[in-house]
Amino acid sequence: MKLFLLLTFFIFGNTQEPLKRLAFGSCNKQHLPQPIWGAIDTYNPDLWVWLGDVVYVDRLVFPGYFKPSSLERIQEQYNIQKNHSEYRKLISKTSTIGVWVSSPVMQQADRPQDDHDYGLNNAGGEIPFKDESQKIFLDFLDEPADSPRWNRKGVWGSYSYGPPGRRVKVILLDVRYWRDPLGKIDGDILGPEQWRWLDSELEGSDAQVHLIGSGTQILPYDKPFQEKWVHYPGARDKLFEMINKHKTPGVILLSGDVHYAEFLKTDLVLTYPLWELTSSGMTHTCATQVPYLCSLALDRYFRSVYQQTDFFLEFNFGTIDFHWDSPDPFLQFTIRDTSNRIALERNVSLSSLQSREKEIVGEVIDPKYMIPVTAESYRTTILPILLLILLSPLLCCLRKKRSNSTITSDPVKQQKKIKKDQ
């Protein structure tokens, strides 16, 4: 049944009924409880979109440092998720597509999917046997055998749904396979072949809505301790320029990775408002990982000038409802919790997402935001500082105890201490 649904969507997507509701999410640990699937099933989407960290195949050695995995372990972890009863229930009746955000293998971090499902956190194009990892990932998605994604160097792809006039194109970008190492400011994310493909997808599209999915956030540039597109400013600018060149209507960005949910928007890069919907944290969030520090850290370091909502820190998934029959057709964006309750919501008319004759204001970005916190800087600078902060109370106690011990063993010092105390 699942294969039939996928083949139907993939081959005959343009003749289908209009897409009415879509759900998306990211950051799902296969070994943790997954109550979110019941809520997604209740929502009953026409399409489910993975936006990275489908599973976690790397192993945490210390906060911020991950040990890479073998192909055998990667396959095993994907199998665990695919056999999850609630997930199987959903995919038995719902078309499923997605991208990765992690890199699943050897130790050489910095490459394209989200990153934990790719094999190693925040890894990129330098990860070995990424081709084998790609096959495992596409097999997990039950990607149709004739899909071009099997033959590409990377998992990027596009899917069109609905008839002319009510057509939705979902464009999934691989931000790991060809990504240059973090810290290379003039580096790239997508690679020449993927850029050519994206250009042709936008140029020849007759869709009214274009959903562009990325494992990492695209819009926010002002979050210093987070992987994001602005670490490759040329690639980020190129994406916006390409959308403007083709006057692509109805572009909405979808992303994950960050372990919280939020909506962002800017009027500075296109001729119409550009929204980004981020849903992250299906089995764990910032609040469950560092419950006492999460809110403080987000308020201090992760609020963006583009943020349109507060952070949502509970387990979540995102949705888009397409209200085609309204006098002024509109999209309803929501973030929902494990009870399918709406936590964040915005309604945006399609008429407001049309290319128009307007001067693009452009952004002014402080170069400091383009410098990432790389694995090397973490190991050599940030980690030692954190360790010093954490261990300082213990060191003080030991020093005080040693001082008292020295005084006790020296009769003269002991008498002086007694007199001082008196």
CA distance 418 to 402: 18
pLDDT on residue 183: 78
List Cβ neighbours of 400 (8 Å cut-off, separation of 6 or more).
none
Residue 169 phi, psi dihedral angles, 5° rounding: -110, 125
What distances in angstroms separate CA 416 from CA 14, 404, 421, one per listed residue? 91, 13, 9
- Return the sign of the alpha-carbon dihedral for residues 343, 349, 354, 356: negative
What distances in angstroms separate CA 309 from CA 155, 214, 224, one per listed residue? 31, 20, 19
Helix (H) / strand (E) containing 276: strand 274-278
What distances in angstroms separate CA 207 from CA 18, 53, 182, 320, 348, one per listed residue? 11, 28, 34, 16, 17
Geometric angle at alpha carbon 272, from 200 and 166, rounded to 5°: 60
Choose between 135 and 407: higher pLDDT: 135
Tokens encoding 378: 């973490």
Tally of CB atoms within 10 A around 163: 11
Segment 342-359 shows an average pLDDT of: 97
CA distance 317 to 334: 8
261-296 confidence digits (pLDDT tens) = 999 999 999 999 999 999 999 999 999 998 888 999
CB 253 within 8 A of CB 240: no
CA distance 65 to 57: 13
HSE on the CB side for 319, CA within 13 Å? 25
Segment 199-227 shows an average pLDDT of: 95
- Return the sign of the alpha-carbon dihedral for residues 35, 342, 265, 167: positive
Question: In the block, which residue shows the tokens 């997954």?
Answer: 34
Q: What architecture is the 2-372 domain classified under in CATH?
A: 4-Layer Sandwich (3.60)
Segment 230-244 shows an average pLDDT of: 97
135, pLDDT greater than 50: yes
CA distance 310 to 19: 28
Which of 118, 234, 241 lies closest to 174, judged by CA? Answer: 118
Helix, coil or strand: residue 183:
coil
Q: What are the DSSP calls for 334-369, one per residue?
A: EEE-TT--EEEEEEEEGGGGS--S---------GGG
Residue type, 163: P
**How does strand 47-51 pair with strand 21-25?**
parallel
Helix (H) / strand (E) containing 197: helix 192-203
CA distance 416 to 50: 70
Given pLDDT bands bounded at 50, 70 and 90, which one contains residue 345? very high
Percentage of residues in the chain having pLDDT higher than 90: 65
pLDDT on residue 292: 85
CA distance 41 to 93: 10
5, pLDDT greater than 80: no
Domain boundaries, the chain: 2-372, 378-421
CB 38 within 8 A of CB 84: no
17-61 confidence digits (pLDDT tens) = 999 999 999 999 999 999 999 999 999 999 999 999 999 987 666
361-374 confidence digits (pLDDT tens) = 899 898 888 877 65
- Return the sign of the alpha-carbon dihedral for residues 295, 298, 299, 305: negative
Tokens encoding 139: 């097999």
CA distance 366 to 352: 29
Please state the length of the chain: 422
57-106 confidence digits (pLDDT tens) = 876 665 555 667 788 999 999 999 999 999 999 999 999 999 986 543 32
Which of 344, 331, 335 lies closest to 317, judged by CA? Answer: 335
127, pLDDT greater than 80: no
DSSP 8-state secondary structure symbol assigned to residue 381: I
Tokens encoding 32: 């943790």
Given pLDDT bands bounded at 50, 70 and 90, which one contains residue 330? very high
What is the pTM assigned to this prediction? 0.83
CB 96 within 8 A of CB 48: yes
